[in-house]
Amino acid sequence: MTGNFGAFIREKRTNQHITLRKLAGDLGIVPAYMSDIEKGRRYPPDKEKLFRMAELLHLAPEEQAQMFDLAAREKDEGVSQDISDYIMDDQLVRVALRAAKKNNVSQEKWEQVIRLFNEES
């Protein structure tokens, strides 16, 4: 464990002037467990608690994505929990990602894809 997830959460929590005890209580966990998470001694909580944590900490969408990515890296899970269901529930998404990996798609190409997706929204 790197502790980056815990440091991120601690920073966001203190910026919002939320006590560790309050956040833990709102998440339904004991403060000692929350403290261990922030200190990098415990793995991040499950997906439901992560979504609740993002809500309680008033995270912007970019911050929420960062939080999920840090949690996935901390747990050595390959994919962030906020998008894992989307990937696993759609065969075409998996085919597209595997093709991108096989063809070593460049950052420039991914940026084009993202722009295309955002234009269609």
Q: pLDDT value at position 38?
A: 96
Distance between CA atoms of residues 64 and 51, nearest Å: 8
Secondary structure element (H or E) that encloses residue 82, with its range: helix 81-89
Selected residue with higher pLDDT from 57 and 76: 57
* Contact residues for 20 (Cβ-Cβ < 8 A; gap 6+): 13, 31, 34, 35, 38
Q: Where are the domains of the chain?
A: 4-82, 90-121
Q: What is the pLDDT of residues 44-73, one digit of tens each?
A: 999 999 999 999 999 999 999 999 999 998
Q: What is the pLDDT of residues 101-118, one digit of tens each?
A: 999 999 999 999 999 999
Is the domain defined by 4-82 classed in CATH 3.30.1300.10? no
Q: pTM score, two decimals?
A: 0.79
